Amino acid sequence: MISIKTFRVAIPALLFLVPLNTLSAESPLSHRLGAPEGGVELGFGWDLIEGQTIPNRCVRFAPVRETGQTSTVTMTEVSDQSEIMDQLDVSATASIKSIGGSASAQASFAKNSKTSAMETTLLLKATVQNGVLFAGPEDPGCPARRAFPQIPENSPKSQYATSDSSGCQSEGEGEDLVDNIKFSPFAQKLKDTNLDEFHKMCGDAYVSRIYSGAELLATIGISTTGTEDQTSTAASVKAGFGGGQVGAETKTDKGVKRESANLSIHFAQGGGGGGLMPISREGLSGKLQSLTIEAARDPTFIGIEVTSYRSLANGLKERSLRDLRDREISADTYWFLLSLEQEISDILATPKVYDFTVGLTPHSLRELQDISIKIRENIRKLEYVANPVDLSPDTPSPVGLECNDHTIDWVEP
């Protein structure tokens, strides 16, 4: 039986106990973000407040391509949608926009994922990256040079090569390419004469890296059908998908029958594609193994990095992001409350599973749920005033993101 004491009901603390120093701190110089809506090009401006590209290039650079493929698989336990967004590098603005319906692929996936107090929820993120395209120092005559042209593919890549086979030159061996990025003449003039116009035309940062390949996302909700402990089952699932230690053991009490566990899987993939839909443990494991081939065959944009103009030697002071951070706090509150309402619904649907030992009753939980719904609705209205978008809850998923839900039985191997 699950104790209601572990149920999170501290709404006032969430709404009001916010460290004030987080609102005045400068943002990091670089941000790794999920792929934005509408496509992106290297060097485009980036508006941190609006969370979107500006189709102007305000820096002088040359595209540099680092070849090679890297693969990463992570599995993390999460408790609500805001934690999922954090794990998926969803920007603050994308998290805010997803309240109204407009969302990036990763934000849309997080928004449509369900967490529950009845389940242990694991977030599986598998990424295959086909190298990186990044902004290097301007080098006329080299439309897209490689980062390490004179070093064999299998050799350690310890420094930037000074030229490639066509004779294109970089600005110096071993130098940090990003540090040599300069403002374009018109951007430099705007920066010196009209900062408001500069931010309008160039934003706060520029797209410094573009990552392509394929990405597989899945939330796995684990609920046991017998007396087996969910923590042990979660460890077994992690090990089964390569997310746990090889020698890890899952234990149950002697004499207790080992029952199967029910897994509810919310699945999405960007890039790659093809093959069978993973509707079983073996199918999902096979999908992970084939992702590298799919990424090479049919890649898509899976993420970007934006670098603040403050990083340039002749940079500028950052705009105040206080309003954005306030809206980000509201968005985190919104997603927390949505998870809270879902958990209350689970409790009310199966009250015998819970131990009501702290004075809470089904009636008081319904009242709490009503309060949560009203707060979320107010947040949505405030966000609509700040960013008028479609508030329909039935917004289709972004193009290129295919989400599917399946329920399978997990039997420990």
Task: Tell me the CA distances in angstroms from 11 to 8, 96, 148, 324, one per residue in order.
Answer: 8, 19, 52, 21
Count CA atoms closer than 13 A to 160's CA, side-chain side: 21
Rounded Cα distance between 157 and 151, Å, is 7
Cα 235 from chain centroid (whole Å): 23
Structure-block tokens of residue 255: 């004499």
Write down the domain spans for the chain.
2-26+71-129+214-300+319-410
The reported pLDDT for the residue numbered 372 is 85
The pLDDT of 310-324, averaged and rounded, is 68
Q: Residue for token digits 């030229």?
A: 163
Question: Average pLDDT in the 243-267 region?
Answer: 47
60: tokens are: 């002088």
Secondary structure letter of residue 254 according to DSSP: T
Among 69-83, 223-237, 271-285, 321-335, the range of highest mean pLDDT: 69-83
Provide Rg for the chain, Cα atoms.
24
Q: How confident is the model at residue 202 (pLDDT cuts 50, 70, 90)?
A: very high
Question: Structure tokens of 151?
Answer: 């070093």
d(CA 212, CA 400): 14
Q: How buried is 238 (Cβ within 10 angstroms: 0-12 exposed, 13-18 middle, 19+ buried)?
A: buried
26/61: higher pLDDT: 61
Measure the CA–CA gap between 282 and 142, rounded to whole angstroms: 46
Per the CB < 8 A criterion, the answer to whether 59 and 181 are in contact is: yes
pLDDT the model gives residue 156: 38
Give the model's pLDDT for residue 185: 92
207-216, 235-244, 275-284: which range is least confident on average?
235-244
Structural tokens at position 229: 């402990």
- Using an 8 Å Cβ cutoff, are 406 and 265 in contact? yes
